[in-house]
Amino acid sequence: MLNSKLPNVGTTIFTVMSKLANEHNAINLSQGFPNFKVDQQLIAIYKTILDSDTHQYAPMPGLPQLRYAIAEKVQHHYQRKLQAETEILITAGATQAIFTAITALVHDGEEVIILDPAYDCYDPAVQLAQGIAKHIAMEDDFSIDWQKVEDQITDKTKLIIINNPHNPSGTALKKADFDALTAIMENHPNLLLLSDEVYEYIYFEQPHISVNTLAKIRERSIITSSFGKTFHITGWKMGYIVAPENLLTEIKKVHQFNVFSVNSTAQHTLAAYLPQKDLSTLSGFYQEKRNLFRNLMAKSRFELLPCEGSYFQVASYKAISQEDDITFSKRLTTEFGVAVIPLSAFYEKPPKNNLVRFCFAKTDDTLIQAAEKLCKI
Ligand SMILES: Cc1ncc(COP(=O)(O)O)c(C=O)c1O
């Protein structure tokens, strides 16, 4: 028998739900990907790039022109002046960014704090680095009790991972959260922060607080972002890391052996496209979708939780059923024709909370049809 390095990892619920959605011809609001058309300007640029001499390896840290374009966006949105040569790394999506950062920085036996519910790629990366993932549950409203977090820190704690705006809950961290986190990092000078900000341009009533703006902690932080989320191109698997040079030097040592460099044609395309785009319009685009979905669902028996950012809406089905969330989600797909993700999928120790996650990165038609079905339950 092969001794698995990840004995507890099986087929993810995302795969299970998408397969079930296909088999039952259900509307798929489960996996987080857009089903609308990509900007035709982006496609036009890509076509020209494909006809040019862009098909060989890009430089290991990424095309300089793409790194400069990212540095300009970071300066514009967060007033942080980055050194594009040494503080930005282009990655194959945020997933590779996170995996590479954890592999490079976490040693055997070091602890990493993960706040549950959490995106599913953090824990396996920590395990493969032979680190110890310490899961701390958020409160019922998905706020974070920072005292609880600080209480879990030991002299072996290397890293805290935050995700803001948050998948799956759709919540966003507030100034008070960052004040508390900054105090913790000041009390523990060796602690590093991994701030997963893939939804940084999708926020609603309150502006996004990026770690890029926080001078006291950004010099000890790795920030990850994803062009997949920002430009509706999740299949391209393009993202990047912003980190201070001393951390990024270590991360690049791993990067050059797990991918060496990232898809060159996609990098050239994004380098030409990014400077032309006003990223501040993305929030408005998704806010309309969020509002449409919430308004349509107001007549349903689902209770919608607040949604402050990301393209996910969490809802309680307590008024409909007392089933566990996996059974309920499967039944929603097979009997009512809408696929969702049960929230327990994001926990090490799932609470009994009767919650499911809807993805509203869908055409208005899809959202209308899904809500019609959901309102009949
Ligand atoms: C919170 C979070 N982090 C990271 C990722 C991965 O991003 P990418 O597709 O760029 O690898 C996702 C994708 O769903 C996500 O939701």
- Ligand 1 centre and the CA of 309: distance in Å? 14
- 329/146 Cα distance (integer angstroms): 32
Distance CA 143, CA 166 (A): 11
pLDDT for residue 18: 86
Number of H helices, E strands in the chain: 15, 13
* Per-residue pLDDT band at 264 (split at 50, 70, 90): very high
Rounded mean pLDDT of 300-329?
Answer: 97
Q: What is the pLDDT of residue 15?
A: 86
**17-26, 146-155, 228-237 — which is least confidently predicted?**
17-26
pLDDT band at 39, cuts 50/70/90?
A: very high
The closest-lying atom of ligand 1 relative to the alpha carbon of residue 310 is: 16
Ligand 1 site-directed mutation target among 198, 202, 203, most atoms within 8 Å of CB: 198
Q: Is 309 in the pocket of ligand 1 (CB under 6 A)?
A: no
Residue 53 alpha carbon to ligand 1 centre in Å: 30
Q: Can you tell me the mean pLDDT for 52-71? A: 98
Q: Which atom belonging to ligand 1 lies closest to the Cα atom of 119?
A: 1
Q: State the DSSP code for 32.
A: S
Predicted TM-score of the model (pTM):
0.98
Please name the amino acid found at residue 157.
T
Task: Please determine, for residue 10, whether its predicted confidence score (pLDDT) is greater than 90.
Answer: no
Q: Is the pLDDT of residue 298 over 90?
A: yes
CATH topology of domain 13-31+280-375: Aspartate Aminotransferase, domain 1 (3.90.1150)
Binding site membership of 195 for ligand 1 (Cβ less than 6 Å): no
Locate the domains of the chain by residue range: 13-31+280-375, 40-276
Q: What ligand 1 atom has the least distance to the C-alpha of 163? A: 1
Question: How far is ligand 1, taken at its centre, from the CA of residue 283, in Å?
Answer: 17
Question: Cβ(198) to ligand 1 under 6 A?
Answer: yes
Q: Residue 73: which residues within 8 A CB-CB, separation 6 or more?
A: 274, 279
The per-residue pLDDT for 14 is 85
User: What average pLDDT does range 300-307 have in this prediction?
Assistant: 98
Does 11 score more than 90 pLDDT? no
Is a pLDDT exceeding 90 seen at residue 328?
yes
Residue-level pLDDT at 278:
97
Ligand 1 center–CA 32 separation, angstroms: 9
How many residues in the chain?
377
Mean pLDDT computed over 167-173? 98
Cα 93 to averaged position of ligand 1 atoms, centre (Å): 7
Supply the pLDDT for residue 31.
Answer: 86
User: Does 13 score more than 90 pLDDT?
Assistant: no
Kindly state the percentage of the chain with pLDDT values over 90. Answer: 96
Say if residue 175's pLDDT is above 90: yes
Q: Which of 235, 147, 229 is nearest to 196 (CA)?
A: 229
Distance CA 163, CA 173 (A): 9
* Cβ(233) – ligand 1 distance below 6 Å: no
The answer on pLDDT for 345 being more than 90 is: yes
Residue 371's pLDDT band (boundaries 50, 70, 90)?
very high
The per-residue pLDDT for 172 is 98
- Closest residue by Cα to atom 10, ligand 1, is 93
Residue 292's pLDDT is what?
A: 98
For 199-212, what is each residue's pLDDT tens digit? 999 999 999 999 99
Residue nearest to atom 13 of ligand 1 (CA): 32
- For the Cβ of 169 lying below 6 angstroms from any atom of ligand 1, the answer is no
Query: Which atom of ligand 1 lies at the shortest distance from residue 228's CA?
Result: 10
Mean of per-residue pLDDT scores for the chain: 97
Q: Output the CA 146–ligand 1 centroid distance in Å.
A: 24
In DSSP terms, 195 is beta-bridged to 162, 223
Q: What's the pLDDT at 358?
A: 98
- Give the C-alpha distances (Å, rounded to integers) separating 267 from 16, 45, 251, 325: 32, 11, 19, 40
User: What was the pLDDT predicted at 87?
Assistant: 98
> What is the average per-residue pLDDT within 333-360?
96
CATH T-level fold of 40-276: Aspartate Aminotransferase; domain 2 (3.40.640)
The values of phi and psi at residue 161, to 5°, are -110, 125
- For ligand 1, whether the C-beta of 239 sits within 6 Å is yes
Distance between CA atoms of 35 and 27, rounded to whole angstroms?
A: 11
